[in-house]
Amino acid sequence: MQELEAGPLHRFQDWPNDQVPKRAAGVYTVWDGDRLLYVGMSGRAMTAEDLEVSPNGRVVAKGLWTRLNAHASGRRSGDQFCVYVCDRFVVPALSPSQQQQLAAGGLSLDDLTRRFIRDRLAYRFVVTADGAEAARLEAEIRRGALLVGRPYLNPLEPSWS
């Protein structure tokens, strides 16, 4: 878990990242400077067998790589992280002129979201044995397991069990 708070930091501006495995379940944290914005996971239904490379050696991206790739794209459709970034950071910062350009179809919220993500945000990641481990770790971090506390965009209430 320490890697998700103090491990190597990778900027979305440098995506794609060859260090992210093309086929893996895992957890990632997204940062704006020292501020933990978001924690996510990918590969929820992946088992150890799903993570094996096919006999022909061909690797089809699945899991962690595809999730981070979607975030780096800035496209809001089907990507809750991009929706959060757009709603909480991009839209509130729009100037009246930009609002008019949006209304006229001359400006794209997806493009502005992509620019925000690529210009400002960075991520850390860890690979997990399978999707079940990734889901458990993500929930722990969303409840505040890191020293920096819960993520700004998608916290969970601490469990008191």
Q: Over the stretch 47-93, which tens digit does the pLDDT of each residue have?
A: 655 555 556 666 677 899 999 999 999 999 999 999 999 999 999 99
Q: What is the mean pLDDT of residues 24-53?
A: 85
| Residue ranges of domains in the chain, CATH in brackets | 3-73+121-142 (3.40.1440)
Give Cα separations from 84 to 25, 127, 160 (angstroms): 23, 24, 27
CB distance 148 to 1 below 8 Å = no
Q: What is the mean pLDDT of residues 95-101?
A: 97
Give the other-Cβ count within 10 Å of 155's Cβ. Answer: 16
What per-residue confidence (pLDDT) applies to 101? 97
Alpha-carbon distance 144 to 117, whole Å?
23
Q: What pLDDT band is residue 160 in, cutting at 50, 70 and 90? A: low
